[in-house]
Chains A and B, each alone.
Chain A
Amino acid sequence: MTSYWNDVLAALALYPARPEIEALPLRSTAFATLYGVRLTSLGPYRLFGYLSIPAGVGPFPAIYYPPKYQSVLEIIPQGTANLMRSRYVTFALAGRGQRNADTPYAALFPGLLTDGIDDAASYVFRGIVADSVRGLEFLRSRREVDAARVVLAGNDIALMTAALTTGATHVVTTPTLFYQTAELAPKSHAYPLEEINDYLHLYPARAEAVRRTLAHYDLLGLAPRVTAATLLMAGAPSTLLDGAALRPLATALRGPVTVYESQQSLYKDGLYSERWMAGQCGIADVQSILPEHWRD
């Protein structure tokens, strides 16, 4: 695994980011300015992200949203209070294939998870993980960001990024794609893991190649590199990725770990992670940046 990712990072380092940053008045407010950011990643491939900077004097804590498993790039996650942008720098990145970064490669959903999966060297997530690393590098370069308070929030890619580069002080991760995938996918009919089942149903002879590729991406292998404080968002009890299933991952992480099992309520789960991030970042009045319907 080490040489695979070292090669990816070395290849990424060959391309300067060359960011272009443009203010977006439509999404700017009295409390935060939004910028569209274009930057280069492995390939070379030009990416797009939304950077929000609070009004006032920084530095500010930052939340980095690495590429999600969906076509749409959000400024901040759906349902997050816009006022959150008054307290954090936020940066949301579209990986290759997502909207705003879909030229020349437009990803399909479902479809992305198995694109090139039978060859680790050409697997699409090799580039997407590099994209995510590039995004964190860019965020860390901003003078508005307090380097002691940088949260990565997302799915597996957030944890992988924290493992592969420096700069993440905190991670909120909801494993979805790359935790014991080869073993767990056959136990599920739900997408995105069902994509693996679909693929192997049509191409059974490629099973060993798929397993080899996935081995490079398994969170369990990358976890010992993560020293950031981590909030591990597990599934509800008795679901595929519940706390018990993720226990080996929690044990393998090097930094302090909090495991939270979903209560199958976006309110309760979301409130927990918002409070955790605010607490870790020293934001005392979290109430003021919660959605209206979540406040006490």
Chain B
Amino acid sequence: MVNDRAEKYRSRVRKPDDFDAFWDHVLRQAAAIPLEAEVVPDPLRTSEDVEVFQVFYTSIDHVRVAAWYCRPARRAERTPAVMVLPGYQMDPPIPKEWARKGYVALSVAPRGKLRSNRQFNPGYPNLLTHNIVDRHTYAYRGFYVDTWRGIDFLLSRAEVESTRIGVTGSSQGGGLTITTAAMRPEVCAASAGAPYLCGFTDAIELTHTYPYEEINDYLRLHPERRAEVEETVAYFDGINFADRISCSIIVNIGLQDNVCPPETGYALFDRIGAADKRLYPYAGHGHDAGRARHSAVADAFFARHLLGREGSL
């Protein structure tokens, strides 16, 4: 029943006519800024099987972005890579587990996260509505670019097999997986869980939980700004990026997701342009989006696309 209702939902999201022009301009601005990557060994976090580094690079607006970088101690000369993207409130994890699975792994802390908040720090709650009336300065303009620059970092590394780069995350990390897969053709496989930042204007009516509730808070105090808010978020909505995705992609959602409504997950999946795409809806699951069961699916998916191993799933 929930499945039916969510699947049949009609999203209100519409793509602005100049969507591609807007983002092409942002990409040009970012490309003009040198990456200036710094890779610092972290002996505290390094173990016999995984080497851990703290990484810093420069993103748009010259904001310095931090990341964790892990690589298997034993690896091929060129190794497939996975970029891990963080949830809204979570502190970016050290992706040792991905290195243990045989990948070089980068976990990005976009601007405002710990270690990337010296120049930009709107805080939580607040990030979601920071400059939300202006797409040119909205928080997620830089935040998105910070993750896309992570791909540039991976491409700059000699040990990375540049034709085998995957991207993954859940919640906000799922939304960032969508935007990254859309904007970086170097990504060859993507796994997005419980994608946030997809269907902003739908979600604020479908659910009244944080973080989407930040927008309802804002509009309650500033109802006269609704049109500007809706105009801005249309440029940042994952649903509007989705038709640009051409890589293999899987998406998992929870049908009782109280944070990122499943209706928006279906709407997103419908718009994904890739021919090789598959949706995994999990009944009886909330914002975990069936993680406990789905992690084996995601592992097999990346093993097939990045490591060239056929799995049984």
Contacts and interface: CB of A to CB of B under 8 A. Distances in A.
Interface string A261-272: 000111110100
A265 B256 CA distance: 10
Contact of B96 (A109, A189, A236, A294): A189
A201 B50 CA distance: 13
B91 A80 contact: no
Contacts of B287: 78-79, 266-267
B259 to A, nearest CB: 5
B96 A199 contact: no
Interface string B205-220: 0111111010001101
Contacts of B256: 265, 267, 293-294
A109 B114 contact: yes
A108 interface: yes
Contact of B124 (A72, A108, A191, A197): A72
Interface residues of A, number: 41
A202 B285 CA distance: 39
Nearest to B288: A266
Contacts of B44: 198-199, 202
Interface residues of B, number: 47
A27 B217 contact: yes
Contact of B94 (A83, A191, A199, A291): A191
Contacts of A259: none
A144 interface: no
A110 B286 CA distance: 26
Interface in B253-292: 254-259, 261-262, 284-288, 290-292
B124 A293 contact: no
B90 interface: yes
A266 B286 contact: yes
Nearest to B290: A265
A267 B221 contact: no
B210 A294 contact: no
A117 to B, nearest CB: 13
Given A79-B287, A265-B284, A293 B292 contact: no
B255 to A, nearest CB: 8
B286 A78 contact: no
B207 A267 contact: no
A291 B89 contact: no
Contacts of A201: 47
Given A81-B208, A291-B209, A189 B97 contact: yes
Contact of B284 (A75, A83, A268): A268
Contact of A25 (B89, B208, B221, B257): B221
Nearest to A203: B44
B208 A292 contact: yes
A292 B208 CA distance: 8
A264 B292 contact: yes
B304 interface: no
Which 4 pairs, one residue from A and one from B, show the smallest C-beta to C-beta distance? A267-B286, A291-B258, A264-B292, A109-B91
Given A79-B286, A268-B284, 15 more contacts: A26-B221, A70-B90, A72-B89, A72-B124, A78-B88, A79-B259, A82-B209, A198-B44, A236-B292, A265-B284, A265-B286, A267-B287, A267-B288, A270-B286, A291-B209
Interface of A: 25-27, 29, 70-76, 78-83, 99-100, 108-110, 189, 191, 194, 197-199, 201-202, 236, 264-268, 270, 291-294
